Structure 1
């Protein structure tokens, strides 16, 4: 099976939400939660591979080094195309990582298209605008690096992103977010079916979360904060706070939200320590409460939780909602756990509560 696409993301939620549209359209997809798991993911012979470098919080030189090393390892697998997944609000080390990857793969230019129209995030006049964007973000400036050619593509709809993909040339490094990933998925699916991108059938519906769901949310993004409030008030689901990631011992009772919060005023805990502490607590709650479904929010949280649960390679099956990928995990005790992952800045205000829109007593697995 040939490798059609290699996706390099700087956090795990980005890797997952960009790769999941391919899984929804029938491609075999594997996601490595970090570079250390890349060989194992490639060993499963995917058609699309994504890897998180977990480098968003690194300084630019360190991020560039990790990105270049990851690109070099992927280059040996001979993917037909590379996609650099960037944050749709251009957070992180966009210029350093893209320039490093460009140098490794020998691409002539970067085609930057970070729009995610279905999340209300567009690119207009060379800037990111829309939901969650306080002021226009200059795209060319975010990608600027010595000797690097960057062509910025405006897009306000899926059709316009389809056009961006159609105009990509051999040797381009595509750089974008979930919107561009979904457009590439449509193109590859249409090529496989012998039609046009618009002819691709809608993905099959994903399962809906059960009433025995545990939410583990580490993102502090204002969009996520509103989603938790809607879930708590609208569905009557309790929220347990974890200051600096420290959770209390797990009591009974699901569904429930575990929310990582800031610690005492005047303290500044290391973010990696906070994520690891929170993940260890989440694993204890998973073991004690035996949820049927786990929903994580935030890239650092997702990475820490999956690592704690012993999952280095993920196989997304699709999306429950746009930008919310789902997958199965095999826990150390052999039990299977259905998981949903959400980027902090993704989803409508009711995205979390919408998981219970059909109010099922239990969800029906699509993969026994």
Structure 2
């Protein structure tokens, strides 16, 4: 590939890096997801997604992780650096964007976390999920990091020291000159974060045109939604056909997200397939594996004719003190890795960025080669190295999709 990359995506968790990185695959060619760029490597794909695993870190630690990722990426002369943020506004958004601008020397960032196809929009500065302010949804009740505001500019101003300007859909839907003048006015006033209202895909397309055509020094910041608009704009004539992928006849689902959306999807999958769901208590996961859990999982898998097994965290009863979330994730990933080694399923499904990253480390994979997007929010690829290098792996952020998403995935990948 030479000494340059077409695109580098920097995301704060593994599922987000995968979901965003795969958007660029059809346009620029193969994209790999790594947590660090191998030193002296000259065989990288044409695109790279880096997971800083910083969503749950302190603001200072998250900023340092982003600076490290940028320092690693710049020697490869990327044609585009894209900062992926959560479409539900979780994490250290302001701190990470500020660190990115400082490390790249970029004058400003265009910030648009909306993803209209998944119900994420920004209207009059308020970020919404299916029409509800995001802080009033289950995201606002996240026990680890509850979101307290749905106002995008207010959220960013509380997390960084940069001036903030806003652009409404009236300007995005209007003529070029007033829109460009408004953005230049913000920049002249040292407003380095320009946040956009977005109601529809066409608004993201317009932001992508601004970023590539009018303000190429500005860093685009958003979810997988804006990434898709940029990818189509970057190289529409070079769209690569999807790779021919092996069918998946047997599955191990490892569900580490507490999302109600995922719970409904799993329930529908169980209803449609009659696959067993092995639920393990959070306290048990945090303090040690339950006795015979591996044998139990293997028996349940064999009873399905080696077709499918779902492992997940048992919902708490509200009476016990909460377990250490990180230890719970590590416990679930450890059981999943052991079962993957015993059961040898064709496909692995990993939901929840922390769980996916913990599983990757447990199986000693150095990264993920992204292949396709079976549906919005789902990414299919293969691990690079490690004990599961020969398996297909699908990642998913917890809150994406409808009740048919998982059964649709299984049907789509079936022989």
Measured after TM superposition, the shift of residue 104 of structure 1 is 0.9
Note if contact 2:364-2:387 (Cα within 8 Å) is conserved in structure 1.
no
The structure that is helix-richer by fraction is 2
Alignment partner of 1:171 out of 217, 232, 250: 217
TM-score, normalization: structure 2? 0.78
Number of residues of Structure 1 aligned to a counterpart in Structure 2 = 350
Whether the 8 Å contact between 2:52 and 2:66 is mirrored in structure 1 is yes
Q: Secondary structure at the match of 2:323?
A: coil
Q: CA deviation at 1:313?
A: 1.7
* Contact 2:6–2:28 under 8 Å retained in 1: no
**Residue 197 of structure 1 aligns with which residue?**
none
Q: 1:258 to 1:336 in 2, by over 3 A?
A: same
The residue aligned with 2:205 is: 162
* Aligned position for 1:288: 342
RMSD: 2.5
TM-score between the two structures when normalised by the length of structure 1: 0.87
**1:41, 1:313 within 8 Å by CA — same for their partners in 2?**
no
Question: Equivalent residue for 1:51?
Answer: 50
1:260: Cα distance to partner? 2.3
1:146 alignment counterpart:
161
Indicate the SS of the match to 1:45: coil
Distance in 2, Cα, partners of 1:271 & 1:14? 19
Contact 1:112 1:150 in 2 (8 A): yes
- Higher mean C-alpha displacement, 100-109 vs 240-249: 240-249
- Aligned partners of 1:123 and 1:27: how far apart in 2? 31
Q: Is the 8 A contact 1:126 1:154 kept in 2?
A: yes
Higher mean alpha-carbon deviation, 122-131 vs 60-69, is at 122-131
Cα-to-partner distance string for 1:82-132 (whole Å, 9 max, x where unaligned):
111000011010011111111111111110111111112112222221337
- Residues 1:83 and 1:334: Cα distance change in structure 2 (over 3 Å): closer
Structure showing greater radius of gyration is 2
Secondary structure of 2:67's partner? helix
Q: Does 1:231 align with 2:266?
A: no
Question: Does 2:311 correspond to 1:258?
Answer: yes
**1:289: how far off?**
1.1
Gaps of 5+ in 1: 194-199, 363-368
